[in-house]
Amino acid sequence: MTTRPDSQTQLDALRGEIERRNPAQPEFHQAVHEVLDTLAPVLAARPEYAEPGLVERLCEPERQVIFRVPWQDDKGRVHVNRGFRVEFNSALGPYKGGLRFHPSVNLGIVKFLGFEQIFKNALTGLGIGGGKGGSDFDPHGRSDAEVMRFCQSFMTELYRHIGEHTDVPAGDIGVGGREIGYLFGQYRRITNRWEAGVLTGKGPGWGGSAIRPEATGYGSVLFAEAMLRERGEDLEGQTAVVSGSGNVAIYTIEKLLALGANPLTCSDSGGYVVDDKGIDLDLLKQVKEVERGRISDYAERRGSSARYVSGGRVWEVPADVALPSATQNELDENDAATLVRNGVKAVSEGANMPTVPEAVHLFQRAGVAFGPGKAANAGGVAVSALEMAQNHARTAWSPARVEEELARIMGDIHTTCHETAERYGAPGDYVAGANIAGFERVADSMLAQGVI
């Protein structure tokens, strides 16, 4: 008689197999391990998930596309970048996830982001699968004409793999409204179709949704507020430390101010600014969104209340709430220890996997409310899905309606994560709650659709 291995043994074996088959992809390993670490109780309670190799299938992308992107700069020199699209799982709907243009982009980064996207999208309840893409192209310092030529070359290959019923990319780091416009224009030129639902993050005058630029930052603040309310507090009067100064960070700061909190910091790759009076949102937007300048420019123009710390760690600044909003693995165990020592109450991830596992465990042991990215930053993809719905109906919703829907979705995600964690004996563990709730929704759909 053969004895079926227990759930933990199966997951440990799968972890080793994933590392063997995907060498030199540490971010992807980290993302998979975080999910697998929470699934043993689920597989024990629901053995039907273990039988058809479901978890193994979930960890293998349905499709991985890598392609060459040649383009010319303004001096006529030819550059060659590499493009990626990982279509990870479509059990719940068309692949959905952003494009990232940044020198750090490689296959492992895109796979980690796509894997996270599966669960994040499932948590929204909006019928979208998980995918991600991008390129190692750096738009920083490039002219509009150079960015346009790159985007056109990128879309010349990507167009054959996407569509409103197949795969719907959006923006991410390095891909904002300018880049989405160029990508959409080239898609329209090649296909001869006005297929508005093929890309999200479009301009509001040509198929975009209100509140889409704000959605990720707004959502992470709403999730932080929900975690605090669960503990009998709210954001009003709380101090906050925010990393980054891109789209997510700016609108995180905007929402914090709207809810009566006091955001003290922002940062970029050179260092961070701490502003004792609270971040001046209008000045920050002028420097980063209009002038595309450095965060040090903010400090120079703000006056005596602000100081710039070159090369420092933004987490050194004491605050009640921390919202990492820049990039993956930006908050390590030492940073977490500093935040805990300074009395942080809640951490809500606006970026994708910005907190290393050791730091997450430290926060949880210290009793800090920790909102993982796949739940806390789901607001962006939620409004992207709402943009798809508006495109399908050839209509546009008011900003008030979109923001109301966003608040409802983020509240539902918080409730789902909180209740799922309690159901599996881990009360207050939003990491386990998010992983398990997202997994169950995808797994049930995969079981219903057979071994494909």
CA dihedral 194, 199, 201, 205 (to 10 degrees): 0
Q: How far is 402 from 386, CA to CA, in rounded Å?
A: 8
DSSP, collapsed to helix, strand or coil, labels residue 200 as coil
Tokens of 445: 């759909």
For residue 350, what are its two tokens? 């606006």
- Which of 132, 202, 345, 374 is catalytic? The answer is 132
Take residue 212 and report the two structure tokens written for it.
Answer: 């889409």
| Residue closest to 348 by CA, chosen among 366, 371, 330, 367 | 371
The residue behind tokens 């010319």 is 72
Q: Which two tokens stand for residue 337?
A: 């220890």
325/101 Cα distance (integer angstroms): 17
CA distances, 416 to each of 96, 214, 331, 421, 448 (Å) = 21, 23, 26, 8, 22
Residues 6+ apart with CB under 8 A from 171: 98, 99, 177, 179, 180, 201, 247
Q: Give the tokens for residue 248.
A: 């997510």
DSSP 355: B
- What span, in angstroms and rounded, lies between the C-alpha atoms of 137 and 68? 11
| Pairing outcome for strands 167-171 and 95-101 | parallel
Task: For residues 106 and 114, give the distance between their C-alpha atoms in angstroms, rounded to a whole number.
Answer: 12
Is 285 marked active-site?
no
What is the phi/psi pair of residue 132, to 5°? -160, 160
Cα(293)–Cα(302) distance, rounded to whole angstroms? 14
The string of DSSP codes covering 81-149 is: EEEEEEEEE-SSSSEEEEEEE-TT--HHHHHHHHHHHHHHHHHHTS--EEEEEEES---TT--HHHHHH
> Which active-site residues does the annotation give?
132
